């Protein structure tokens, strides 16, 4: 009996152990499944959230292909091209086919003095063509006008891209400025942390007062605040460039940060006169203005065409068929025979000579002359504005270069002075107040240097852009 109970107990323990094993196996498999799922989700999230930094050429390319304003102007250019093709079609004869058929129910004569109710059908079929042989060269002038308008539309695309290129350059350099400024401030924060640790040692040794230690700690807190401000400035400038590129809000975005030693202004500027002449020759604003003068000149020729005769030719071929459907009193003629008998051909020439137009043509000519004068004034104004803009860009670049050189010398002096001051503080030769004063001067020198450096680079890029030089960093 006891042996039986012992075996039964062993079986129960074995089954329980087996259940525990299966339960543990399920838990392990479930855990492995969850870990695997989390791993792949994390890898997928990292792949999704990893953004390749954009260089400035990437920004230009994306704006050229996706900017809404530029895309709209490209559609306008395509529309202008269709207008050009339509004007060229005026030299080709027009061709149309006309088919008509009508039914008529009436009381008609039966040929013997009586009336008979008849339902009849009649149809006509013709092919018509016409062409303008001469109309004061108006068609050729129209074609030339449409060609100029298509060129103007294409230049408007380039003009808009130039504007956004300069805006992207400024936004991109603002990001680089903020990042370089953050680098200096981060180093300054590390230095302040070391000063606080050293100040704590001096305080523990009784070399400085509690007030001096608190000043060092306050300086460290201020440096951390400057670092946070620089980080916020980077994020804000990145957002500004992202919005300028019209990227979707869920797109992660960052820019390539080139070596700060390579982003420096050129030591020598291009000659002002050379840049002005190049800009006046090649800048799309000037080309648009010149095309406006040519368009106004063609407008005068178009107005003069209103005084000249118009010669056109037209021709047609056709036939017709009629049939009495009910109560016919005459023998019917077959469809094909009747169309053959009615087949006709017609060719004609029309000459239209304007004699009096209620002064409409005179008014159109006067307005065209006024538009031509206005187009010349607009071109002169555009030339003046562009020349002044290039001159202003030259002055801005020159002044920015001088400011950068002065800031560079100031930073070198402030850096060496700050280094000496830190060493003096480490040796206990100066107090905390002197250290903070020198650190403040160093921070101001750093910020002036970074600001003047990127201002000089931006102004030089703008000035060289008038020369037709692409923006690169």
What's the chain's average pLDDT? 86
pLDDT digits (tens, 9 = 90+) for 31-85: 334 433 433 344 333 333 446 899 999 999 999 999 999 999 999 999 999 999 9
C-alpha 226/C-alpha 187 separation (Å) is 12
> Is 201 within 8 Å of 167 (Cβ atoms)?
no
Q: In b/e form, how buried is each residue of 104-115, taking b as 16+ CB within 10 angstroms?
A: eeeeeeeeeeee
CB-based burial of residue 200 (10 Å sphere; 0-12 exposed, 13-18 middle, 19+ buried)? middle
Q: In the prediction, which pLDDT does 422 show? A: 87
Q: In the prediction, which pLDDT does 383 show? A: 95
pLDDT digits (tens, 9 = 90+) for 20-43: 444 444 444 443 344 334 333 443
Report the pLDDT averaged over residues 17-21.
46
Q: Please state, for a pLDDT cut of 70, what percent of the chain lies above it.
A: 89
pLDDT digits (tens, 9 = 90+) for 313-349: 999 999 999 988 887 777 888 888 888 889 999 999 9
Indicate the range of 253-257, 371-375, 430-434, 468-472 predicted with least confidence: 430-434
Orientation of helix 68-88 relative to helix 56-66, angle to 10°: 50
3-state SS class at 346: strand
> Is 265 within 8 Å of 455 (Cβ atoms)?
no
In degrees and rounded to multiples of 5, residue 295 shows phi and psi of -65, -40
DSSP 434-456: HHHHHHHHHHHHHHHHHHHHHHH
Instruction: Identify the CATH number of the domain defined by range 56-92+136-308+359-466.
Output: 1.20.1600.10
DSSP 158-224: HHHHHHHHHHHHHHHHHHHHHHHHHHHHHHHHHHHHHHHHHHHHHHHHTSS-HHHHHHHHHHHHHHH
Tokens found for residue 367:
């307005």
Orientation of helix 432-466 relative to helix 210-244, angle to 10°: 20
Q: In b/e form, how buried is each residue of 392-425, taking b as 16+ CB within 10 angstroms?
A: ebbebbbebbebbeebbebbeebeeebeebbeeb
> Is 344 within 8 Å of 266 (Cβ atoms)?
no
Domain boundaries along the sequence of the chain: 56-92+136-308+359-466, 95-134+310-353
The structure's pTM equals: 0.78
**DSSP conformational letter for 92:** S
CB-based burial of residue 446 (10 Å sphere; 0-12 exposed, 13-18 middle, 19+ buried)? buried
Q: In the prediction, which pLDDT does 182 show? A: 92
Q: In the prediction, which pLDDT does 40 show? A: 38
Residues 6+ apart with CB under 8 A from 407: 445, 448, 449, 451, 452, 453
């Amino acid at each position: 009996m006891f042996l039986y109970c012992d075996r039964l107990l062993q079986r129960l323990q074995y089954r329980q152990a087996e259940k525990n094993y299966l339960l543990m196996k399920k838990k392990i498999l479930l855990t492995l499944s969850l870990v695997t799922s989390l791993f792949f989700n994390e890898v997928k999230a990292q792949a999704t959230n990893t953004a390749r930094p954009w260089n400035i050429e990437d920004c230009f390319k994306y704006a050229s292909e996706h900017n809404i304003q530029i895309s709209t102007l490209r559609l306008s250019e395509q529309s202008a091209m269709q207008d050009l093709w339509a004007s060229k079609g005026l030299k080709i004869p027009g061709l149309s086919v006309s088919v008509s058929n009508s039914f008529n129910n009436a009381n008609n004569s039966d040929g013997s003095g009586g009336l008979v109710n008849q339902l009849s059908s009649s149809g006509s079929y013709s092919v018509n063509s016409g062409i303008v042989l001469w109309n004061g060269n108006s068609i050729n002038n129209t074609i030339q006008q449409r060609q100029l308008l298509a060129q103007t539309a294409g230049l408007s695309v380039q003009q808009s891209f130039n504007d956004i290129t300069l805006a992207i350059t400024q936004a991109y350099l603002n990001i680089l400025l903020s990042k370089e400024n953050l680098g200096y401030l981060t180093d300054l924060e590390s230095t302040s942390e070391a000063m606080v640790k050293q100040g704590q040692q001096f305080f523990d040794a009784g070399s400085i007062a509690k007030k001096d230690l608190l000043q060092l700690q306050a300086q460290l807190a201020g440096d951390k605040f400057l670092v946070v401000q620089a980080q916020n400035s980077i994020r804000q400038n990145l957002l500004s460039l992202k919005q300028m590129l019209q990227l979707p809000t869920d797109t992660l975005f960052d820019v390539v940060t080139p070596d700060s030693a390579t982003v420096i202004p050129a030591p020598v500027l291009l000659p002002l006169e050379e840049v002005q002449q190049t800009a006046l020759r090649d800048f799309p604003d000037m080309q648009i203005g010149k095309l406006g003068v040519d368009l106004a000149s063609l407008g005068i020729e178009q107005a003069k065409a209103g005084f000249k005769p118009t010669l056109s030719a037209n021709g047609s071929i056709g036939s017709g068929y009629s049939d009495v459907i009910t109560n016919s009193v005459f023998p019917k003629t077959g469809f094909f025979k009747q169309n053959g008998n009615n087949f006709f051909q017609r060719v004609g020439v029309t000459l239209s000579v304007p004699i009096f137009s209620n002064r409409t043509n005179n008014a159109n000519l006067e307005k065209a002359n006024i538009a031509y004068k206005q187009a010349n004034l607009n071109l002169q104004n555009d030339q003046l504005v562009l020349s002044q803009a290039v001159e202003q860009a030259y002055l801005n670049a020159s002044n920015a270069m001088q400011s950068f050189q002065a800031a560079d010398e100031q930073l070198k002096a402030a850096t060496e002075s700050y280094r000496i001051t830190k060493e003096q503080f480490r040796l206990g030769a100066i107090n905390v107040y002197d250290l903070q004063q020198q650190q403040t001067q160093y921070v101001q020198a750093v910020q002036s240097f970074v600001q003047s450096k990127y201002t000089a680079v931006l102004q030089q890029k703008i000035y060289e852009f008038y020369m037709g030089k692409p923006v690169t960093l």
